[in-house]
């Protein structure tokens, strides 16, 4: 079945530091890949997505590239801010067709950015 593995947290960085959160996946075919973010006390929000190999998703300074050869979708940001403190989830959706668009999530990585 499908699965997502992301780096264990928590991750603690200083403001303006470089961020990488690793994510690898197992899936049949060509899944779509996503990063969701959950701020304290809130629901999940889509951060970025990529639907095919070599696509780069980007939003709010975050980037992730769909690497089929390494089955990875690592999240990066060049300079983090305190407001980026949140839990980050990597997820995949199998494109087997139909109207079933359920996501399989990784366990989440807690990021804390200190001023």
Partner 1 sequence: DSGVTQTPKHLITATGQRVTLRCSPRSGDLSVYWYQQSLDQGLQFLIQYYNGEERAKGNILERFSAQQFPDLHSELNLSSLELGDSALYFCASSASAGSGANVLTFGAGSRLTVL
* Least Å from the CB of residue 43 to partner 1: 4
By C-beta, is 3 or 79 nearer to partner 1?
A: 3
Nearer to partner 1, 100 or 115 (CB): 100
Nearest distance, CB of residue 14 and partner 1, angstroms: 27
Give CA–CA dist 115/107, Å, rounded.
26
d(CA 85, CA 4): 22
Q: What is the CA radius of gyration of the chain?
A: 14
For the bound state, the minimum distance from the C-beta of residue 82 to partner 1, rounded and expressed in Å, comes to 22
Positions touching partner 1 (CB under 8 A) are: 32, 34, 36, 42-46, 49, 51, 89, 93, 98-108
Residue 69 CA to residue 59 CA, distance in Å, equals 24
Q: Look up residue 44 and give its two tokens.
A: 């999940």
Nearer to partner 1, 17 or 51 (CB): 51
> Rounded CA gap, 49 and 35, in Å?
6
């Amino acid at each position: 079945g499908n699965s997502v593995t992301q780096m264990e947290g928590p991750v603690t960085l200083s403001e303006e530091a470089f961020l990488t959160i690793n994510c690898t996946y197992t899936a049949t075919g060509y899944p779509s890949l996503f990063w969701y973010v959950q701020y304290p006390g809130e629901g999940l929000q889509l951060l970025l997505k990529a639907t095919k190999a070599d696509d780069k998703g980007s939003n709010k300074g975050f980037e992730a590239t769909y690497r089929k050869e390494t089955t990875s979708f690592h999240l990066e940001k060049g300079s983090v801010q305190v407001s980026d403190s949140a839990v980050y989830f990597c997820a995949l959706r199998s494109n087997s067709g139909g109207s079933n668009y359920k996501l399989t999530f990784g366990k989440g990585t807690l990021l804390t950015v200190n001023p």
